[in-house]
Amino acid sequence: MVTAAARVRTLSPGGFLRLSLASSVALFLVITSGAFVRLTGSGLGCDNWPQCGDKPYPEQGFHAFVEFGNRMVALMGLALTLVTWLGSRRVVGLPRGVRLAALSAFLLTVAQIPLGAITIALDLHPLAVMAHFLLALAVLALTVAVVIEAWSHFAGLAAPAGPGWLRRFVTWIGIPACAALVVTGAVATASGPHPGADEDVKRLGLEIVDTVYVHVRVAAAFGIGVLFIGWFLVRMRDRYPGLLWLWGALLGVLVAQAVVGEVQYRTALPWGLVLVHVFLAAAIWALSVAVAYALWRPPVALTRQ
Domain extent listing, the chain = 11-155, 158-305
Map residue 55 onto helix, strand or coil.
Answer: strand
Residue 29: per-residue pLDDT = 93
163: Cβ contacts below 8 Å, ≥ 6 apart: none
Q: What is the mean pLDDT of residues 261-275?
A: 88
pLDDT over 90 percentage in the chain: 64
Rounded Cα–Cα distance for residues 294 and 254 (Å): 19
How far is CA 179 from its chain centroid? Answer: 11
Cβ–Cβ < 8 Å for 252, 222:
no
44-59 burial: b if 16+ Cβ within 10 Å, else e:
bbbeebeebeeeeebe
Name the more confident of 247 and 46. 247
Helices (H), 236-270: 241-266
Map residue 91 onto helix, strand or coil.
Answer: coil
Residue 2: per-residue pLDDT = 44
Rounded Cα–Cα distance for residues 119 and 171 (Å): 31
Q: What is the mean pLDDT of residues 13-31?
A: 95
Name the more confident of 129 and 170. 170
| pLDDT at 7 > cutoff 60 | no
Q: How confident is residue 256, by pLDDT bands cut at 50, 70 and 90?
A: very high
**How crowded is residue 70: how many other Cβ atoms within 10 Å of its Cβ?**
24
Q: How many residues does the chain have?
A: 305
Q: What is the mean pLDDT of residues 122-147?
A: 91
Rounded Cα–Cα distance for residues 201 and 158 (Å): 51
Taking the CA atoms of residue 292, residue 25, residue 246 and residue 158 in that order, the dihedral angle to the nearest 10 degrees is 60
Residue 24: per-residue pLDDT = 96
